[in-house]
């Protein structure tokens, strides 16, 4: 699990997950990445692939919802893998 820096409810932040270490030589991220909130009430949008990274935007969230909020990022590859990484961030 990746730990993102803390975020205030009114902030909108760009974030990314780098899958470079999970890719074989010549393998690329492909298709449409999925980014979902698995714990909490923040929102994510704008998921896109840039090289070995999945980039997205995080907005909202309330301090009272959960001490930590979690995001799951999934992305298929050109070699048929389905890579997944979880991230969490603390609402400030």
- The CATH H-level superfamily of 2-90 is Immunoglobulins (2.60.40.10)
Q: Which tens digit of pLDDT belongs to each residue from 6-49?
A: 999 999 999 999 999 999 999 999 999 999 999 999 999 999 99
Cα(81)–Cα(50) distance, rounded to whole angstroms?
A: 17
What is the pLDDT, as a whole number, of residue 67?
Answer: 82
pTM over 0.85: yes
18: nearest Cα among 42, 2, 38: 2
Cα(47)–Cα(92) distance, rounded to whole angstroms?
A: 24
């Amino acid at each position: 699990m990746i730990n993102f820096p803390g975020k205030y409810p009114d902030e909108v932040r760009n974030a990314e997950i780098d899958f470079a270490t999970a890719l074989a030589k010549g393998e690329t991220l492909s298709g449409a990445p999925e980014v979902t909130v698995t714990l909490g009430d923040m929102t994510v949008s704008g998921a896109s692939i840039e090289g070995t990274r999945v980039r997205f935007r995080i907005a909202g969230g309330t301090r009272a919802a959960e001490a930590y909020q979690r995001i799951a990022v999934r992305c298929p590859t050109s070699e048929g893998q389905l890579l997944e990484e979880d991230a969490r961030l603390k609402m400030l």
